[in-house]
Amino acid sequence: MTNRVTVIGSLNVDTILEIPRLPKPGETLAMGDQSFAGGGKGSNQGIAAGRAGADTHFIGKIGDDANGKFMVKSMTDSGINVDQVTVTKEAKTGQAFILLDKNGQNSILVYGGANQVLSTKDVDNAKDIIANSDFIITQFETPLAVAEAAFKVAKDNNVVTILNPAPAQEAIPASLLAVSDLVVPNETECQTLTGVEITDEASMIKGAEKLHAMGAKGVIITVGSKGAFYHTADGNYGFVDAFKVNAVDTTAAGDTFIGALSSQLKPDLSNLAEAIRFANRASSITVQRMGAHPSIPTLAEIDAAEKAAK
């Protein structure tokens, strides 16, 4: 059965600046190259879900500009339904400027633009789409009030909610966490939310338990090239190792993980470990390629990588 996934979130055009290292204050540094690609945490997650086989809808906002048209084409080329991606004249389409060093690590500057114009009215207009989904995903590159409104519609219709609390924010409304079935932070975001420094399994358990106490029913803490830790409210937990590859660009790795996860996960979370393994495999492909949208793998590529590893 194909999972029906709705993503509500950001759409950004990425400008990728390849540099040997981050410049020091006041320093001028020569770039190796620059390129452009579709991105934004929301659209990355939507494309990852769609390419991994989910029936995917997207709710978002773009500006009345060439970047907006570029983003819509990037989404539709991956089979994403963009009927609820609307145009605003209040702001330009979101943009991100990615500083990518020679080791594949990145630092990112984000202009929210039209993403910040997304409103609860957009949620109202998409109620039927949300209600008919198996999963809904959101992040923190659009207003928190919009995320909470969407998740409340989801919970009224028994739709599983997946919250990616990124970029990290210290103050998240308890009312949002209360309607979040699965919270998926990385180790830095988990520390920001809980105050627990993630260093080992004991700290992961402590961080997850704090998130449960805040209202989250399930928790996945991603720890980059090491893998992902999961913990459910009933005390089931474990760690799923990542696949070892040579990373060239970690942009969209976490987003690929979440989108791919949603394409395979069962609504009762009963196959959580297996879905995480699939998501790890998808992310391992993403980090071996440049850019956000261009790096996200298809289901055929994920299956081929799995078969080649056996």
For the sheet containing 81-88, what is the strand order?
A: 81-88, 55-63, 4-8, 135-138, 160-163, 182-183, 218-222, 227-232, 237-241
The answer to the question of whether 164 is labelled as a binding residue is no
Cβ distance 204 to 211 under 8 Å? no
186 among annotated binding-site residues:
yes
**227 known ligand binder:** yes
- DSSP run (H or E) holding 274: helix 272-286
Catalytic option among 124, 255, 268, 303: 255
Residue 158, annotated ligand binder? no
Contacts of 72 (CB under 8 A, 6+ apart): 62, 82, 85
Is 217 marked as a binding-site residue?
A: no
Known binding residue 249? Answer is yes
Structure tokens at 66: 């060439």
In the residue annotation, 255 being an active-site residue is answered as: yes
Is 225 annotated among the ligand-binding residues?
yes
155 is in an annotated binding site: no
DSSP 3-state assignment of 289? coil
Quick one: which of 186, 218, 241, 231 has its CA closest to 41? 186
Residue 301: both structure tokens together: 């590529």
Peptide bond preceding 167 in cis form (omega within 30 of 0): yes
Q: Is 289 annotated as a binding residue?
A: yes
Backbone angles phi, psi at 227, to 5 degrees: 135, -145
6 marked as part of a ligand binding site: no
81 annotated binding-site participant: no
Annotated binding site for substrate: 12-14, 40-44, 141, 255
Active site positions, annotated? 255
Annotated binding site: 12-14, 40-44, 141, 186, 222-227, 249, 251, 254-255, 280, 286, 289, 291, 295
Q: Which residues are annotated as a binding site for K(+)?
A: 249, 251, 286, 289, 291, 295
Annotated binding residues for ATP = 186, 222-227, 254-255, 280
